[in-house]
Amino acid sequence: MLVRESICRVLEDKLRAELAAGRGADAVWLPPGPWPDSLPIGEAGLGADSLELLALAGSVNEMFHIHDTGIEDALLARRYFGDWVDLIQQSWKANAGRVSFHTSGSTGRPKRCTHTMLDLAAEADEHARRLRPGRILTAVPSHHIYGFIFSVLLPLQAGCEVIDIRTQLPARFLEDDVLVSFPEHWQYLGRSLRHLPAVTGVTSTAPMPTGLARDLCTRGLHRLVEIYGSSETGGIGWRDDPDAPFALLDLWSVRGAPAADGTLLLTGRSGMQTETPDLVAMAESRSFHVRRRRDGAVQVGGINVFPAHIAATLERHPLVAHARVRLAAGACSRLTALIVPNDPDVDQDKLRQQLEAWIILHLSGPERPRSFTIAAQIPTGDFGKERGWLEMA
């Protein structure tokens, strides 16, 4: 069962994310954390109006499965942050069987991913035995499955302190610290710190560039452990050598050979059956190389986004005939879009301004392209196949 301090961190991260999704830039005015029990969730505190309050209560109920114990209506009756923490704790004392996380589906709509606490705790226990942390330094939000396992459950299993480093690094690092982060943040640390701390690092949410992983360890990082998995599956494999295959976590068993397309079928310790989110190539009986995603997603800031869905959203704009979206080249993993307008003589500056307004209304922050290339047609090669395009300044 989660301790109250852990529930406070998860709930704060969850409410911040929900309000940010609805308010956009206005969410930066939320009060700094950690939030006190006395903080009102309504107008006098977080500023949630009646519609936001309904959405927040529904989201919290869905994540923590408060409805399993029949006290979900109290979320609307009790409107202080501490009240909601108490309700989650009360619910989990009665039945801490399941927890749900959200990720984008193939259409870009949020997809609920439900897990048993037994499965998540088994994974956290395996990481705790392998990493043996003295402290967890976390740069990831705790309401996503990666952060939940590594900054909530793992510290409970290991009996260690958790320090949130999203806004400030600790004054000093200890030898048995485990720093939990994601590729973009690791890149920031590599550029910002003259000497990297001699600690164990953990990375997930997106593929870790091989060159960056090697550079971090060359410059002082003791070890970098990469976790492979998804919101749907939890952790599947791990490695601490960027050139090595991923080793399957102990809690998974392989259900025969990979399918013809490279999909690997797995069975969890509790009997959960799933398949890898990517196409894989087996190296040995319990190790594999990741080839490519099956669903066409790419990661922006550790969040799965779907270029095909984003392009379709852009094509709904009345001035756009065709659109294509991909990751931009360079260090920052953001999206760029190619736009073919209905009118070839359209004022390109005005079109870009309209598209900027359009994506704010229709796409989340990670989904929004950061640049637009305007072209007369989709570029093709000699055999009529689409090819890439050069970004314009």
Report the predicted TM-score, pTM, of the whole model to 2 decimal places: 0.80
CA separation for the pair 94, 85 (Å, rounded): 14
Report pLDDT for 264.
81
**Tell me, what's the pLDDT at 377?**
84
With tokens 């990670």, the residue in question is 366
Q: Could you give the angle at which helices 50-64 and 81-94 cross, rounded to 10 degrees? A: 30
pLDDT computed for residue 153 by the predictor: 96
In the chain, the amino acid numbered 121 is A
DSSP 67-125: GGGT-TTHHHH--BHHHHHHHHHHHHHH---EEEEEEE-TTSSEEEEEEEHHHHHHHHH
Domains and CATH numbers, the chain: 4-95 (1.10.1200), 117-293 (3.40.50.12780), 306-374 (3.30.300.30)
Q: Which ranges in the chain belong to alpha helices (H)?
A: 4-23, 50-64, 74-77, 81-94, 117-131, 145-148, 154-158, 183-192, 210-218, 307-315, 348-362
Query: What are the DSSP calls for 353-382, one per residue?
Result: HHHHHHHHHHS-GGGS-SEEEE-SS--B-T
- Tell me what pLDDT residue 392 has: 40
**Those residues with Cβ within 8 angstroms of residue 360's Cβ, 6 or more apart along the chain or in another chain:** 24, 368
pLDDT 10s per residue in the chain (393 long)?
678 999 999 999 999 999 988 776 566 688 988 999 999 999 889 999 999 999 999 999 999 999 999 999 999 999 999 999 999 999 988 887 899 998 754 445 668 899 999 889 999 999 999 999 999 999 999 999 999 999 999 999 999 999 999 988 998 999 999 999 998 899 999 988 888 999 999 999 888 989 999 999 999 999 999 999 988 899 999 999 999 999 999 999 887 776 766 778 888 877 878 888 888 888 888 999 998 766 667 778 767 788 888 999 999 999 999 999 988 866 567 899 999 999 988 999 999 999 999 999 999 888 999 999 999 888 765 444 566 655 443
pLDDT of residue 157: 92
Contact 190, 217 (CB under 8 A): no
Q: What is the pLDDT of residue 384?
A: 47
Q: In what order do the strands lie in the sheet with 265-267?
A: 253-254, 265-267, 273-275
Residue 56 has what pLDDT? 95
Give me the residues paired with residue 238 across strands.
Answer: 227, 247
- Phi/psi-derived region of residue 264, left when phi > 0, alpha when psi is between -120 and 50, beta in every other case: beta
